[in-house]
């Protein structure tokens, strides 16, 4: 160690305290990495690995990146699961006596990012802290980039499931958990595998049970609302989160000063399976926004509104009064098209105040970001003026919450130039007229450059050297340059400074005095401008609460305007929300499917569910007929109502639902050794264990992954359980291919049969997409298989076997050899026969981009008939 260079000893001393992070060590205009960190960074970031002399025999592996473009590199490392420690030079190298002092200013982890370029503006980035003790868990979520923090206490014998539900609600990118939580395999696997969350396991000594750290961080009123007594798990989770943030953020923690306590009873319970099956914010296959409920409802204009809309969709309300308040606000905006358009226009161009303020408070915001804040503040008076006279209670609260911030606008507008440079320490930030000393220094610089031109002209005149010129470089400062051919004309008072091949360079006393004045002004003005900018930034940071309150009001307004515009564009109605548990929907539509089917009218359907005679709807009918779409649309309409949106129906009366559970589709989890059927049964078990009488249950096929009798037995037992008032009695939509279950309507109260109407023409079928009372008269499985393109021989044989089974006869064995069957159906189409010519001729006349689904099916039938007839 003693043999190493001083700089390398400094590096290793700092690295010793940050073994788990990649250390970005500032050297001039670069962040350098050494030893193992350099190997990792070079590999992950595709950087050139070099070496640096460190005083030992072998050179230290080294790689580096420019400090001003570090964010993209850091983002790539975070995405790969690494953490980064930023080590800055904390003194001016020009003033340092010996080794430049360096310190860690921040540790960046997936859950503590505040840079806008490294975040999705439409999503919150939550850090979770979880403390488990027995059947209780304190859970805290904080978004450092916006200053939001939420905490809750959950209690259950199945604590892992409850923890997973909360994590599914907030989707943290990083989590802090205690050893007892880590021992819950279901909880840790959910974090790591289901939501791709970085997990840090803290020893128990990191969990402080004292409320003192919280009292220092959060305002007293907030903590009184939480009620810390009797909630030690919550206190420990919050303290661990604060401890972690102090270790990583170093400064700026005052941004996080308010924490909100919520209970599970405030929001509808939605497990991760339900969120994915209903495709609330991302599609199941492509994980895209297009094709989701969020995609349909998102007409927001601001990043704050986009995040809040996602939050509302993820957290539907259970409070009837609060739901109605949102509906009333949307209704007022729907009815006043001029105000709605004006507000949408006013919100366009509003910057992300929440994340801007975080960077301002942390002292990392640049001048351009302050100008963005000013541009937003400039728009606020017109937005507030347009809301004057609103009637609904929620809009009145939003109006009161919007502060025009004209003092903030004036401060920034008076001090910061309209188009400031990106770098803060190069000058050019402060407006003329804001500070007298800055103006004087600029005058000195301007006049100084003018004096240089005068000196140059005067020296040419005095010496007679026509090509004499005054230049500048960093080593010698200002100089007079004379070519070799004119050296005989150089006067005695010129002092030789440098000899070059073709010329000589000189200085004069007058030139050095001017240099001192000009260069001194340049350095002083850079320092002074940064100092003035920092003062402005701190003054703006002092207005955090006003600006934060305004930001939250603007976000709510943005979402409500978006709901209203969507309702108008898509012909939604205002639902009648009640507590009677009834779901009565007239002409309901699937909000996403109807938007995806622009060229084909969506077939609407009615729904009647209650807690008495219409608890369970058994829905039969063929695949592809629309059963899944219908059931999902009911769930989405209920959810849309409880987030405050209007719904796609001609009318709707909707009772409050405390949770939605879905068991949809077939999937397996081979990595954990679970088959499709095992996954299906696990999901059913979760529903039956956690649903209540006020829940809405969606079962799309149960028991398909095992033998017919086993599957049908399980399906029937599940229907009996969910329908029984003494055991559950929840509102249920149950789609099945087991037609035998339709007999339950006559055996149990509360069960009703429905089916999807189908029109049959010979062997062909047409799906009418209409849900009607009664059980299906046939499964139409073979017809659907024919539509899917199974070979005619398979279809024919299926019909023979079905006929024998229906007659109770044993299935006869076909004696024909495979070789005898094959010639009847060529393996591929010959492109030289007349039938193929007709098919190809027909295909050439079709424009696939303009076909509706029905037209496409009709053409497909016609082509199939051509092939079959020949």
On whether residue 842 sits in a domain, the answer given is yes
Rounded to 5 degrees, what angle do the CA atoms 212, 216, 220 make? 90
pLDDT digits (tens, 9 = 90+) for 736-749: 988 889 999 999 99
Q: Tell me, what CATH number does 99's domain have? A: 3.40.1170.10
For CA atoms 331, 337, 342, 347, give the dihedral sign: positive
Q: Can you read off the two tokens belonging to residue 8?
A: 């390398």
Of 410-414, 441-445, 484-488, 583-587, which gets the smallest average pLDDT?
441-445
Helix or strand run (H / E) with residue 105: strand 102-108
State CA 139 to chain mean position distance: 21
Both structure tokens of 132: 């488990």
Cβ neighbour number for residue 705 with a 10 Å cutoff: 18
71, 118 Cβ separation under 8 angstroms: yes
% of the chain beyond a pLDDT of 70: 88
pLDDT at position 827, please? Answer: 43
Residue range 241-251: mean pLDDT, rounded:
87
Tell whether 622 is in a known binding site.
Answer: yes
Closest CA to 268 of 794, 643, 682: 643
Together in a domain, 333 and 446:
no
Integer Cα distance of 256 and 144 in angstroms: 7
- What is the percent of the chain with per-residue pLDDT over 90, rounded to a whole number? 60
Q: Tokens 């024998």 — which residue?
A: 804
pLDDT tens by residue, 608-634: 999 999 999 999 887 777 889 999 999
- Give pLDDT tens digits for 406-432: 999 999 999 999 999 988 887 889 999
pLDDT of residue 259: 87
Rounded distance between C-alpha atoms, residue 776 and residue 753, angstroms: 9
- Give me the CATH number covering residue 345: 1.10.1420.10
Strand partners, 11: none
Do 604 and 726 have their domain in common?
yes
In a domain, 293, yes or no: no
CA distance 184 to 416: 54
Q: Which of 108, 135, 160 is the last residue of a domain?
A: 108
* Per-residue pLDDT, 463: 92
pLDDT for position 817: 47
Please check whether residue 245 lies inside any domain of the structure: yes
Dmax (CA) for the chain in angstroms is: 127
Domain count of the fold of the chain? 6
DSSP letters for 681-725:
HHHHHHHHHH--TT-EEEEE--STTS-HHHHHHHHHHHHHHHH-T
Indicate the SS3 state at residue 229: coil
**In the sheet that 651-655 helps form, which strands lie side by side, from edge to edge?**
576-578, 651-655, 583-588, 605-609
Calculate mean pLDDT across residues 751-770. Answer: 78
Q: Count of alpha carbons within 13 Å of 252, Cβ hemisphere only? A: 26
> Do 89 and 181 belong together in one domain?
no
Residue ending a domain, among 570, 588, 615, is: 570
Mean pLDDT value of segment 484-509: 91
Query: The tokens of 783 are what?
Result: 């017809």
**Calpha distance 593→526 (Å, rounded):** 59
Residue 272 lies in a domain: no
Return d(Cα 191, Cα 202) in angstroms, integer: 15
More confident residue, 628 or 768: 628
What b/e readout covers 51-72, taking b as 16+ CB neighbours within 10 angstroms?
ebebeeeeebbbbbbebeebee
Name the one residue in this structure whose structure tokens are 């689904």: 853
Do 478 and 453 share a structural domain? yes
Q: What is the pLDDT of residue 609?
A: 97
Residue 775: band (very low, low, confident or very high) from pLDDT cuts 50, 70, 90: confident
pLDDT at 219: 73
Question: Which range (210-214, 239-243, 641-645, 698-702) has the least confidence?
Answer: 210-214
Cα–Cα distance, 67 to 64 (Å, whole number): 9
Mean pLDDT of 467-491: 89
Residue 34 forms beta bridges with which residues?
Answer: 62
DSSP state at residue 2: T
Residue 812: per-residue pLDDT: 66
147 plus 192 within the same structural domain: yes
Q: What tens digit of pLDDT does each residue of 327-352 get?
A: 999 999 999 999 999 999 999 999 99
* pLDDT greater than 80 at residue 55: no
CA torsion through residues 803, 808, 809, 810, sign: positive
The answer on 368 and 448 residing in a single domain is no
CB distance 50 to 63 below 8 Å: yes
Distance CA 194, CA 489 (A): 83
| Contact predicate 83/127, CB 8 Å | no
Q: Is 601 annotated as a binding residue?
A: no
Beta-carbon neighbour count of residue 694 at 10 Å? 18
Rounded mean pLDDT, 771-778:
76
Which range, of 298-307, 495-504, 563-572, averages the lowest pLDDT? Answer: 495-504
Please report the pLDDT score of residue 784 as a whole number: 65
Is 623 a known ligand-binding residue? yes
Confidence check: pLDDT of 794 > 90: no
Decide if pLDDT at 74 tops 90.
Answer: yes
Which is more confident, 444 or 387?
Answer: 387
The verdict on residue 274 lying in a domain is no
Alpha carbons within 13 A on the beta-carbon side of 119? 26
Element at 576 (helix H, strand E): strand 576-578
Cβ-in-10-Å burial (0-12, 13-18, 19+) of 385 comes to: exposed
Claim to verify: residue 208 and residue 334 sit in the same structural domain: no
Tokens of 372: 């963005």
User: Are residues 671 and 773 part of one domain?
Assistant: yes
The stretch 246-256 carries a mean pLDDT of 81
> Over 90: is that where the pLDDT of 367 sits?
yes
User: Are 690 and 763 within one domain?
Assistant: yes
The answer to whether 626 is a known ligand-binding residue is yes
Q: Is residue 249 part of a domain?
A: yes
For 810-857, what is each residue's pLDDT tens digit?
Answer: 666 665 444 444 444 444 444 445 666 667 766 766 766 556 666 666
> What is the pLDDT averaged over residues 400-405?
97
Same domain, 94 and 219: no
Helices (H), 425-508: 436-463
* pLDDT at residue 1, rounded to an integer: 54
Of the listed ranges 9-13, 351-355, 679-683, the least confidently predicted one is: 679-683
Q: Alpha helices, DSSP H only, in 484-617?
A: 509-541, 544-570, 591-596
**Which parts of 182-277 are beta strand (E)?**
198-202, 260-261, 269-270
Q: How confident is residue 597, by pLDDT bands cut at 50, 70 and 90?
A: confident
Lowest mean pLDDT among 320-324, 414-418, 805-809: 805-809
Q: Is 627 annotated among the ligand-binding residues?
A: yes
Asked which of 553, 570, 587 is the last residue of a domain, the reply is 570
Q: Indicate whether 798 belongs to any domain.
A: no
Residue 142 within a domain: yes
Query: Do 162 and 251 share a domain, yes or no?
Result: yes
pLDDT of residue 472: 84
Is there a single domain that holds both residue 393 and residue 518?
Answer: no
pLDDT band at 806 (very low <50, low <70, confident <90, very high): low
Contact between 138 and 91 under an 8 Å Cβ cutoff? The reply is: no
Please report which residue ranges of 735-852 form alpha helices under DSSP H.
781-788, 792-806, 818-821, 834-844
Tens-place pLDDT, residues 106-130: 999 999 999 888 999 999 999 999 9
Q: Can you give the pLDDT at residue 857?
A: 65
Q: What pLDDT is attached to residue 834?
A: 60
Show the tokens assigned to 693: 């009488």
595 in the Ramachandran plot: left (φ > 0), alpha (ψ -120 to 50) or beta? alpha
Tokens 């999901």 — which residue?
683
462-486 average pLDDT score: 89
Mean pLDDT calculated for residue range 597-613: 90
Kindly tell me if the per-residue pLDDT of 868 is higher than 90. no
**Beta strand residue intervals within 361-514, DSSP E:** 469-473, 477-483, 495-499, 503-507
Q: Which helix (H) or strand (E) holds 85?
A: strand 84-89
Q: Which structural domain, as residue segments, surrounds residue 89?
A: 6-108
Instruction: Please report where in the chains the tokens 């209920």 appear, as a residue.
Output: 638
User: What's the chain's average pLDDT?
Assistant: 87
- Three-class secondary structure of residue 177 per DSSP: strand
């Amino acid at each position: 160690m003693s043999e190493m260079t001083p700089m390398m000893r400094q590096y290793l001393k700092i690295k010793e305290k940050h073994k788990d992070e990649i250390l970005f060590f500032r050297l001039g205009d670069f962040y350098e990495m050494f030893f193992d960190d350099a190997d990792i960074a070079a590999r992950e970031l595709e950087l050139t690995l070099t070496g640096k002399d460190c005083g030992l025999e072998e050179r230290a592996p080294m790689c580096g990146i420019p400090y001003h473009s570090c964010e993209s590199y850091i983002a790539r490392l975070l995405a790969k699961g690494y953490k980064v420690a930023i080590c800055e030079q904390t003194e001016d190298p020009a003033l340092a006596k010996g080794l430049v002092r360096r310190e860690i200013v921040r540790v960046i982890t997936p859950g503590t990012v505040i840079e806008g370029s490294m975040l999705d503006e439409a999503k919150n980035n939550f850090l979770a802290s979880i403390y488990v003790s027995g059947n209780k868990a304190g859970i805290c979520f904080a978004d450092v980039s916006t200053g939001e923090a939420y905490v809750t206490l959950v209690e259950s014998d199945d604590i892992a499931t409850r923890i997973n539900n909360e994590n599914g609600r907030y989707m943290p990118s990083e989590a802090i958990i205690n050893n007892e939580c880590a021992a819950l395999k279901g909880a840790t696997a959910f974090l790591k595998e289901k939501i791709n969350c970085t997990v840090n396991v803290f020893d128990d000594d990191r969990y402080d049970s004292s409320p003192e750290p919280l009292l220092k961080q959060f305002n007293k009123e907030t903590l009184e609302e939480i009620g810390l007594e009797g909630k030690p798990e919550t206190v420990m989770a919050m303290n661990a989160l604060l401890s972690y943030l102090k270790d990583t953020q170093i400064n700026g923690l005052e941004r996080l000063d308010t924490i909100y306590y919520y209970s599970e009873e405030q929001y509808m319970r939605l497990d991760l399976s339900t969120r994915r099956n209903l495709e609330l914010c991302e599609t199941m296959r492509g994980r895209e926004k297009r094709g989701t409920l969020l995609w349909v409802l998102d007409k927001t204009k601001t990043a704050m509104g986009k995040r809040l809309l996602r939050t509302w969709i993820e957290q539907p309300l259970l409070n009837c009064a609060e739901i109605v308040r949102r509906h009333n606000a949307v209704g007022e905006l729907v009815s006043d098209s001029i105000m709605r358009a004006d507000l949408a226009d006013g919100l366009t161009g509003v910057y992300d105040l929440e994340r801007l303020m975080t960077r301002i408070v942390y002292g990392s915001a640049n001048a351009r970001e302050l100008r963005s804040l000013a541009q937003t503040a400039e728009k606020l008076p017109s937005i507030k003026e347009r809301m004057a006279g609103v009637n609904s209670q929620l809009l009145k609260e939003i109006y009161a919450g919007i502060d025009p911030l004209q003092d903030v606008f004036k401060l920034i507008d008076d001090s910061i130039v309209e188009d400031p440079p990106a770098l803060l320490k190069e000058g050019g930030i402060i407006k003329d007229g804001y500070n007298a000393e800055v103006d004087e220094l600029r005058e000195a610089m301007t006049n100084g450059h003018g004096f240089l031109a005068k000196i140059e002209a005067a020296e040419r005149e005095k010496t007679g050297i026509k090509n004499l010129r005054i230049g500048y470089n960093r080593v010698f400062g200002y100089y007079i340059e004379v070519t070799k051919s004119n050296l005989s004309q150089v006067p005695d008072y010129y002092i030789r400074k440098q000899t070059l091949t073709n010329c000589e360079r000189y200085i004069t006393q007058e030139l050095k005095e001017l240099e001192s004045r000009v260069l001194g002004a340049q350095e002083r003005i850079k320092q002074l401008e940064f100092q003035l900018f920092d003062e402005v930034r701190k003054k703006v940071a002092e207005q955090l609460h006003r600006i934060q309150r305004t930001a939250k009001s603007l976000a709510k307004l943005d979402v409500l305007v978006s709901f209203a515009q969507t309702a108008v564009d898509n012909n939604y109605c205002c639902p009648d929300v009640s507590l009677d548990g009834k779901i009565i929907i007239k002409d309901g539509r699937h909000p996403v499917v109807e938007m995806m089917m622009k060229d084909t009218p969506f077939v609407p359907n009615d729904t009647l569910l209650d807690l008495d005679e219409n608890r369970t709807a058994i829905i039969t009918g063929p695949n592809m007929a629309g059963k899944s779409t219908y059931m999902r649309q009911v769930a989405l309409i209920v959810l849309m109502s409880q987030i405050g949106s209007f719904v796609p129906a001609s009318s709707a009366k909707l009772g409050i639902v405390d949770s939605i559970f879905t068991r949809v589709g077939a999937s397996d989890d081979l990595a954990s050794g679970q088959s499709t059927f095992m996954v299906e049964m696990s999901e059913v078990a979760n529903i039956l264990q956690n649903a209540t009488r006020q829940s809405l249950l969606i079962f799309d096929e149960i028991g398909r992954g095992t033998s017919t009798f086993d599957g049908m037995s399980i399906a029937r037992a599940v229907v009996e359980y969910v329908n029984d008032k003494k055991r559950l009695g929840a509102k249920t939509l149950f789609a099945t291919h087991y037609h035998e279950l339709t007999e339950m309507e006559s055996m149990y109260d509360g069960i009703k049969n429905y089916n999807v109407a189908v029109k049959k023409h010979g062997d062909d079928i047409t799906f009418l997409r209409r849900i009607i009372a009664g059980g299906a008269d046939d499964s139409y499985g073979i017809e659907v298989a024919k539509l899917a393109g199974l070979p005619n021989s398979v279809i024919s044989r299926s019909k023979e076997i079905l006929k024998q089974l229906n007659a109770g006869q044993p299935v006869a064995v076909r004696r024909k050899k495979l070789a005898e069957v094959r010639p009847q159906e060529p393996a591929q189409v010959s492109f030289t026969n007349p039938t193929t010519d007709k098919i190809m001729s027909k295909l050439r006349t079709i424009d696939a981009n303009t076909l509706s689904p029905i037209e496409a099916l009709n053409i497909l039938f016609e082509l199939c008939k051509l092939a079959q007839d020949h």
